[in-house]
Homo-oligomer: A and B are copies of this chain.
Amino acid sequence: MRPLLHPSIEDVTVEGILHALSDPIRVAIYADIVSQECTQNCSTFLTVSDKTIPKSTLSQHFRALREAGLIRGERRGVEVHNISRCAEIEQRFPGLIRAIVNAHAIQLKDEAAKRPSRRAARNK
């Protein structure tokens, strides 16, 4: 099995980052990896925001995040551990990742406030 590919930091592009994070599943995954700075394996995300993602699709999403330079994946035995490369990216594009993750968090909060939550639906 060929090794996981990662661009060097100077080959990382803004377009690439934006494109990778313009998919709801991928931002969700990435936000999660960034927030808990421990390494996570892929299968943690077989369901993302209540949707079941086929693992082939998931694999592609992780590849997209890797090739955009957003995360680094390392094989550890049978599984792959993923860590974010946000320190490197922060150095190259200061403030970018923070702003995006922050905006994403705001949006999640707004959505939760707007749409009646499962809990509210149960209780009415």
Query: What is the interface of chain A, defined by CB distance below 8 A to chain B?
Result: 10, 13-19, 21-24, 27, 92-96, 98-100, 102-104, 106-107, 110
Contacts and interface: CB of A to CB of B under 8 A. Distances in A.
A23 B22 CA distance: 11
Tell me the number of copies of this protein: 2
Main secondary structure of the interface of A (DSSP, over half): helix
Contacts of A22: 15-16, 18-19, 22
10 contacts: A14-B100, A15-B21, A15-B22, A15-B24, A15-B27, A17-B103, A18-B19, A92-B106, A95-B103, A96-B99
A96 B100 contact: yes
Given A18-B22, A99-B99, 7 more contacts: A10-B110, A18-B100, A19-B19, A93-B107, A94-B102, A95-B98, A96-B103
